[in-house]
Amino acid sequence: MLPSTRNLFDQYNHPENRLTHALISSIASDPVLLDKFIRWSTGEKHRSSQLHVVEQTLPGDEEPHDEDEAERKGLPDGWIYDTGGWSLVIESKIKSPLNRDQLERHRRTAEK
């Protein structure tokens, strides 16, 4: 019998969070990919060496929140930011619809 191996994505139940985890893990580990993702999504060029990439947490927090807590607190799925106030907030959607209220909560959270 083979030993049980834990899947990297087992910590997430929702497909959106699994998708975000794959994206965040990929771009956080490859500065070139991070630069290309930012250029693709914003049209801006940003120095990846000055950026922080987190998922389901606020900038500066040590640990990600669990999925349900992150949803209650209005946390975006992913967040790329620098110390100068620039941010790219990521909200992934697969099964659930995108709604304006959720985006407004994320905007208010980001402004804080």
The owner of tokens 């967040």 is 79
Q: Sign (positive/negative) of CA torsion 52, 57, 62, 67?
A: negative
- The radius of gyration of the chain's CA atoms, rounded to the nearest angstrom, is 15
Specify the 3-state DSSP secondary structure of 75: coil
| pLDDT tens digit sequence for 25-48 | 999 999 999 999 999 999 988 776
Residue 2 is encoded by which pair of tokens?
């083979």
Specify the 3-state DSSP secondary structure of 39: helix
| pLDDT tens digit sequence for 75-109 | 788 889 888 888 898 888 888 787 888 778 877 87
Residue 18 is encoded by which pair of tokens?
């699994």
> In which element (H, E) is residue 6 found?
none
Above 90 in pLDDT, residue 64? no
Let me know: does 53 contact 28? Beta carbons within 8 Å.
yes
- pLDDT category of residue 3 using cuts at 50, 70 and 90: very low
Residue 1 is encoded by which pair of tokens?
């019998």
Q: Sign (positive/negative) of CA torsion 29, 13, 105, 37?
A: positive
State which amino acid sits at residue 30. Answer: D
The owner of tokens 């990439």 is 53
